[in-house]
């Protein structure tokens, strides 16, 4: 079991630490992390999402409905709960609340799912990887981008401080609706949003894209997880590790609470393996490094985001081991 855990998770830890070491040796700096961030968000991840999604057939998606429903509830439901708690109980900004919700709810399946679940579940890994990736990239990622964009616009308007008449005009319902519609349009233009949506439409249509074409897209896509983790290490080295109440809470929610609720809920309903092991181990994967990518892009909570990803990855060596033992 130790062999399985290390072979699945150690590459993530090593890649993260290599980025940290590269920044510590001054081979890379925070500006380089921004460049890597732009490459990951605009090219590598969209290509990985498109290629991974179009390779999924309709038959595979419909093969295990209870698992898909479980992952939808576990990811989307947990995202909504954490966002509301962060926003209205902890009084965080909307953008910070969105990042906190993404940290606590979205496992890094699109980045490291094949490597981690492939080792743990073997052939059974195809369905949870496809289902979790679709749920994450069709729901919580676009919602997070939208909330970050809306908050950035609101902060920009507050900084500009228009005259009273202009302020009243800009706060009219029609103006707010136009801003919201514009942000939705901007969100849909993001490659990370429209690439998986397009791939999902292709899957539902039953059309099969030639394997040669998909394989051509996969080369850069395969680099997305490694480059994202490497950039995370650079960001962490450029700032400092912040271990505060909020960081520890969101890492606890992601690594322990989310998979524990999935395990308890499925056992209570009466499900057994393989559904339980697939759903629990999928949600037990540490948080997505894209949290740091978003923090860099929008300039918010960068140290907290890097610290959360770092602690989530490092502690997953223990927490995933516990959930592997509980589900096997």
DSSP letters spanning 211-226: HHHHHHHHHHHTTHHH
**pLDDT tens string 229-287:** 888 788 778 767 788 999 999 999 999 999 999 999 999 999 888 889 999 999 999 99
Nearest to 45 by CA among 223, 299, 306: 223
64 versus 258: the higher-pLDDT residue is 258
Report yes or no: 74 and 252 within 8 Å, Cβ to Cβ. no
Work out the mean pLDDT of the chain and round it to a whole number. 82
> 10-46, pLDDT tens digit by residue?
888 888 889 889 988 888 887 787 788 788 878 887 8
Distance in angstroms (rounded) separating the CA atoms of residues 70 and 68: 5
Confirm if 112 and 289 have CB atoms less than 8 A apart: no
Residue with tokens 């969100």: 187
Which is more confidently placed, 223 or 72?
A: 72
- How many residues would you count in the chain? 328
Average pLDDT of span 69-83:
95
Q: Average of pLDDT values for 313-320? A: 89
């Amino acid at each position: 079991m130790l062999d399985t855990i290390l072979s699945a998770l150690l590459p993530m830890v090593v890649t993260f630490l290599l980025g940290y070491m590269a920044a510590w040796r001054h081979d890379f700096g925070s500006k380089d992390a921004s460049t890597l961030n732009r490459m990951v968000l605009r090219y590598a991840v969209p290509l990985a999402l498109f290629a991974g999604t179009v390779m999924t057939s309709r038959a595979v998606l419909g093969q295990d409905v209870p698992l898909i429903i479980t992952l939808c509830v576990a990811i989307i439901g947990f995202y909504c709960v954490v966002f509301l708690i962060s926003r209205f109980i902890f009084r965080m900004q909307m953008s910070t609340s969105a990042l906190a919700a993404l940290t606590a709810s979205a496992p890094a399946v699109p980045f490291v799912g094949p490597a981690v679940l492939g080792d743990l579940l073997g052939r059974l890994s195809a369905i949870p990887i496809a289902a979790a990736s679709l749920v994450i990239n069709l729901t919580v990622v676009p919602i997070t981008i939208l909330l970050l964009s809306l908050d950035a616009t609101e902060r920009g308007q507050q900084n500009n401080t228009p005259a009273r008449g202009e302020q009243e005009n800009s706060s009219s319902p029609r103006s707010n609706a136009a801003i919201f519609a514009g942000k939705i349009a901007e969100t849909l233009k993001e490659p990370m949003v429209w690439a998986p949506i397009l791939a999902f439409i292709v899957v539902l249509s039953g059309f099969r894209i030639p394997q040669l074409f998909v394989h051509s897209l996969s080369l850069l896509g395969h680099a997305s997880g490694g480059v994202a983790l490497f950039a995370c290490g650079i960001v962490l080295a450029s700032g400092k590790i912040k271990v505060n109440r909020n960081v520890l809470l969101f890492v606890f929610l992601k690594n322990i609470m989310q998979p524990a609720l999935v395990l308890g809920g499925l056992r209570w309903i009466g499900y057994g393996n393989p559904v339980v092991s697939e759903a629990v181990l999928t949600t037990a994967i540490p948080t997505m490094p894209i949290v740091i990518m978003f923090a860099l892009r929008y300039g918010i909570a960068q140290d907290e985001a890097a610290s959360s990803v770092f602690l989530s990855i490092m502690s997953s060596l223990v927490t995933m081991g516990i959930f592997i033992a509980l589900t096997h």
